[in-house]
Amino acid sequence: MLISSSLLLVVSAAAAVVAAPTEEVNKRMLRVPFEKVAKQNSGGHRLIKRDPFQTSLYNDDGSQYLINVNIGTPAQTFSVALDTGSADLWVPGTNCPNLICPYSKFDQTKSSTFNSTNQKFGIIYGSGSANGTYVQDTVSVAGATVNNQQFGLVTTTKDILTQQGSLGGGIGSSPSVSQNNATVSDGIFGLGYPQLTASTSTGGSVYNPFVFNLVSQKIISDPVFSIYLNSASATGNSGEIIFGGVDQSKYSGDLAYMPVAGLTSGSSNPLDTIFGNSGNSQIYAYWMVYGQGFTVTDGVSTPNISTPETFPVILDTGTTLTYLPARVAQEIALSVASQNDIALDSSAGVYVIGCDVANSNAQIQIQFSTSDKASSTPITFSVPVSQLVIPLDTTSASTASQCIFGIAPSSTGSLSTSSNLYLVGDSMLRSAYMVFDMGQNRVGLAAANGVGGSVNGNSGSSSSSTSASSTIRPSSVIVASAILAFMF
C-alpha cells in the first residue's frame, strides 16, 4: 500500500445503515479462485495448482496473495500480488535489469494494442519502491477484459521483487529470507480507489484502476468485489476474489457493513464520473473504516482498549501483519502471552512469541463503528490468537521453534513515522469474508468459514463449501458526516 510519512489526511465518512433485504437479485459476476504458493525455509517453494487462480501465502517471512493477470495482445501472463492498500497495477518491463526484476517482464513490442504515454510512474511502499512510466494496454482477469487500461511499466524497483518476504504494498515487513527459483510475484495489483493511484498522489490526473473500469464499462452488474483468503495453513485452492458478487458459501451469518472513511478535499469526488455527483467534496482513497476499540477475551489478561473518538483503520490485503500504535499493540500482546513468552524484536519491528501460544483460546476483538462516531452497538470482529501465531521455520506452529505474532507496533523499525497508524493486514483479515462496495462506499464483513473468527458473535463454520452464489443483496444507505484527522 502507498504510504507517505508527510501526508495529513482529514477524514470524513458516510454512515451506512443496512436495511433488511427483501429479495435476492441475480447478478453477473466473475469468480476468480486464487493460486497458492507456499514457501518453506527447509524445502523452498511449492506450487499447487488446481484452478486458474489461487492464493499464495508465505508463513515464514510474510504472505502475498497472487492472481493471474493477462496483459497485451496476444496476452502475456503475470502473477501479481493482490493489494487493497494501493491502487495501481504494475509489472516490470524488458528494460528493468534482471538483478532487480528477476522474473517475468512485459514485452511491449509483442503487443499490438500497446500505447505509450509520457507520464512517469513512481510508487513508494513501506517495504520498497517501483518506478517507470504509465502505459496503456488490454488487461484481462478471469475473462474480464478492459481495453486501454492504464498501468505502470516498471524499469527500476527496490526491495520488491527481490525481497518478497516483505512484499505487498504493505507498510510492514517481516523477517525475510533468500528466494528460491519458483513461481513468485511479478508485480502488484492495486484495488484501491482512483484517488489512491500514484498518478493522483503526485499531482497527476485521476484514472480508473482495473476494478473501477469493470464498473464504468459495465463489465460487472454490481460495483462490488469480495475476497476470501482462507486460513494461513490452507493449501491448494485456498481463497478467491469475486468481481461483481459475493460467495455466500464462504461465510456464516450476515454481512455487516461499515462506511468507508473519506478524505476531505477541495476537489470533487473522482468517482463522480462513475456513480454520479455525490454532492459533497469527499474523496475516497483507502479502503478505510472507523474503529473504536479492542478487547481480548480468554487471555492472560482481559484489557478493554477504547478511545473517546473513532479512529481510521485501513484494511490491507497487501500487508502480512496487522500494525497498531505501540501502546495498543503492546497491551494486546501482553494479554495473550506472558512476559516470558513474548518479546519485541525492535530491529525487525515484530513480536517474537512462543509457538505454544497457538494453543490459547484467546480471541482478539476489534470494534468497528457504523459511522464516524463511536457506536453503542459496534460491529465486533473477533480473531482467534491461534491464527495470529506465525511460524518461521516450519509450516505449523505446532512443530515450529520460532514464531512471530501477527500484530506488530507501527512505531518501531521501518514504521517509526507511522506511530498513529491502524492497519489490519492479512494476519487478521483471513478471519473475515470481505465485500468492498464501490457504489455505496462501504465494506461488509462476515465470519469466514474454515478459519475460526466471528463477526457480531456469528462464528464461521469449520469448513467452506466450494460452491458459489451469484446473488448479492440490496441495501439502503443513510448518509451522515463528520471530521477527524490523523498523521502517518
Give the three cell numbers for residue 460: 464461521
Catalytic pick among 83, 88, 222, 247: 83
Burial class, 469, CB count within 10 angstroms (exposed 0-12 / middle 13-18 / buried 19+) = middle
DSSP SS3 for 397: coil
Buried b (16+ CB within 10 A) or exposed e, 141-161: bbebebeebbbbbbbebebbb
How far lies 455's CA from each of 76, 235, 238, 435, in Å?
40, 24, 21, 13
- Based on its alpha-carbon atoms, the radius of gyration of the chain, rounded to whole angstroms, reads 21
Closest CA to 421 of 228, 235, 303, 291: 291
Q: How far is CA 63 from the centre of its chain?
A: 11
Catalytic residue among 137, 222, 316, 341: 316
As a whole number of angstroms, the distance between CA 437 and CA 288 comes to 12
Instruction: Specify whether 247 is catalytic.
Output: no
DSSP symbols for 242-302: EESS--GGGEEEEEEEEEPEEEE-SSPPTTHHHH---SS-EE--S-EEEEEEEEEESSSS-
Contact 366, 381 (CB under 8 A): yes
Give me the active site residues, please: 83, 316
